[in-house]
Structure 1
Amino acid sequence: MTYSHRVIFNFNENASLQNWETLDDVVMGGRSQGDISLSPQGHGRFSGSVSLENNGGFSSVRYSPANLEVEPQDQIKIKLKGDGKRYQFRVKHDQQAYESYITYLETTGEWEEITIVLNDLFPTFRGKNLNQPNFSHNSIQQLGFLIANKKAEDFELLIDKIELI
């Protein structure tokens, strides 16, 4: 059941961030702080600081679409502007699953469109690659971004649109 260009989320000045949430290493005693907000131009703004204190080191933001039907060969296109840092793009086929399927995004500091084939996403759990197949599911219940570069740093990732193509 493939559709052409389904918008998953379009950030603009009227966008509701109700289904977006941040999750930082504070859940494990860390000190990192991330936030999702709208920039004055209406872009999604995932920003904050990563701290390595208390064995910390990550900040993430997650979006839960209403059970998005996909096929493993579908692609996700993201228009974003990073700060030159490396981020993870992450999806979960089931919010209760322990594994996330990820890829790394090397941002350039410029606006860019990145296309990701779902079945290129590989499974991880708590930073460890799992010996399981790549994404092969028919739904996405959660997607998001994570920064965890093993160093203390401030970050800002602007997101314009996320589409399924």
Structure 2
Amino acid sequence: MMLGLVVAPLMAEGTKVLEQFDETKLELQWQAVNDGVMGGLSRGRFDVKEYSALSFTGDISLKNNGGFSSIRSYGMTYDLSKYTGIELRVKGDGRMYYLTSRCNGGRMLAYWSPIQPEVGKWVTLKIPFSSFYATSFGRKIPSIKLNTKKVTSVGFMLYDKKAGEFKLEVDWIKAY
């Protein structure tokens, strides 16, 4: 099963590269945020590999009410209102992740859309902005939409409440 794959027409604007992972230069700044912020013991990290892909790896622990790991960008604001969504090339491990976004610099609200790329196979996914829903500390908040005029972050979250190692690789991220 591959969540997140949506066939959608390209807009007249084409695409906008948000990050094309290159070990010599990253467009965005990245950080890891794990359940340790709430007492959990999960470990997650990112690295840009020699073949120019982001690797998001770690181990989910359910101890101490843990159960999530994430990475996200920061430091830039994009007006993506002329685009339909986010397109990315990823290789998964069979687990369901969330493509995340934030807007207006908000720390407490995040927007999630599920993705589940095939195990060990590079695939291109198109995730429309309309599929993102607002969350606060993992709880869905109805009626709040992503403000695509002020996108301040994109990222990935693993929050499937399953203990164990994980690995998601990302080749590039674009707005389409």
TM-score for both structures, normalised by structure 2: 0.86
User: Among residues 129, 145, 155, which one is paired with 1:144 in the alignment?
Assistant: 155
Could you say which residue in structure 2 is the equivalent of 1:19?
Answer: 29
Could you say which residue in structure 2 is the equivalent of 1:37?
Answer: 47
CA contact under 8 A between 2:20 and 2:27: conserved in structure 1?
no
Could you say which residue in structure 2 is the equivalent of 1:111?
Answer: 122
In 2 relative to 1, CA 18–138 (structure 1 residues): closer, same or farther, beyond 3 Å?
Answer: closer
Distance 2:116 2:110 in 1: 19
Could you say which residue in structure 1 is the equivalent of 2:110?
Answer: 100
- Per the TM alignment, residue 144 of structure 1 is displaced from its structure 2 partner at its CA by 0.5
SS at match of 2:52: coil
Aligned length: 164
Amino acid at match of 2:84: D
Could you say which residue in structure 1 is the equivalent of 2:143?
Answer: 132
Q: Per-residue displacement from partner, 1:45-81 (whole Å, max 9, x unpaired)? A: 0000010110000000001252111117522100010
Distance 2:133 2:24 in 1: 34
- Per the TM alignment, residue 137 of structure 1 is displaced from its structure 2 partner at its CA by 3.7
TM-score for both structures, normalised by structure 1: 0.91
Distance 2:65 2:26 in 1: 33
Could you say which residue in structure 2 is the equivalent of 1:50?
Answer: 60
Aligned-residue identity in percent: 26
Q: Which runs of 5+ in 2 are unaligned?
A: 1-11
RMSD value, Cα: 1.8
